[in-house]
Chain A
Amino acid sequence: AQTVTQSQPEMSVQEAETVTLSCTYDTSESDYYLFWYKQPPSRQMILVIRQEAYKQQNATENRFSVNFQKAAKSFSLKISDSQLGDAAMYFCAYRSARGKLVFGQGTRLTINP
């Protein structure tokens, strides 16, 4: 069974600085997808970024980028120029071949003004 581990329960960063959230996963599949979801206090799950495992190029979405290391089974999220609105729980997720998402434990990100 696939597992996803986020080793940082909480992180904080100064506004306008850069922060990296860690995620590792375990799988025997060769083809899969990885996602980062954001959950603000409103509890809505919002997709931040996604990565196809067969693509070597790291995904980027504006201020959000990932460092995908397939051999190491690592999928970290970098947030540049942090903004107050980035404060939220961040979940790393693995999508299995059957379609279900397996989530990490989450990292609570605080932005300090």
Chain B
Amino acid sequence: DTAVSQTPKYLVTQMGNDKSIKCEQNLGHDTMYWYKQDSKKFLKIMFSYNNKELIINETVPNRFSPKSPDKAHLNLHINSLELGDSAVYFCASSQAGEIEEQFFGPGTRLTVL
């Protein structure tokens, strides 16, 4: 059973396009995250939602817009894609508690041409 799933796993698109990445978790967690891993493997948080409410919004261009229709889903929409957006995007989830281990999805490799 997949705990955190992302679609698509690979996404190749042209500069200027708009694209979305979907994330779903079946762990019953109340918090979800988006991380970006650049070409040097550096991982950095972008957003976090708790029970559909935005709680973390790092310095991310407003071309990136997360949407959480329910607490099991957190989608990432990117407008006007740029070359620098090429990266691997990871979704993660956790449950508030003593140790908030975050479970990661398999990642989506986005390539902007």
Contacts and interface: CB of A to CB of B under 8 A. Distances in A.
Given A43-B88, A44-B107, A101 B102 contact: yes
Contacts of A101: 33, 35, 43, 45, 92, 102
Nearest to A35: B101
Contacts, number: 61
B55 A106 contact: no
B42 A105 contact: yes
B106 A44 contact: yes
Interface string A2-45: 00000000000000000000000000000001010101001111
Contact of A43 (B50, B56, B106): B106
Contacts of B109: 43
Interface string B68-109: 000000000000000000001010101010111111101101
Interface size classification for chain B: 20 to 34
Contact of B107 (A33, A43, A98, A103): A43
Main secondary structure of the interface of A (DSSP, over half): strand
Given A45-B104, A52-B99, A99 B44 contact: no
Contact of A89 (B31, B41, B94): B41
B99 A106 contact: no
B48 interface: yes
A75 B105 CA distance: 25
A35 B99 CA distance: 11
9 contacts: A35-B101, A39-B41, A44-B106, A50-B101, A98-B48, A101-B43, A101-B45, A106-B42, A106-B43
- Across the A-B interface, the 3 shortest Cβ-Cβ residue pairs: A45-B104, A103-B43, A100-B45
Interface of B: 31, 33, 35, 40-45, 48, 50, 55-56, 58, 88, 90, 92, 94, 96, 98-104, 106-107, 109
Given A43-B106, A47-B102, A105-B42, 10 more contacts: A44-B107, A45-B107, A99-B48, A99-B94, A100-B33, A100-B48, A100-B56, A101-B35, A102-B45, A106-B42
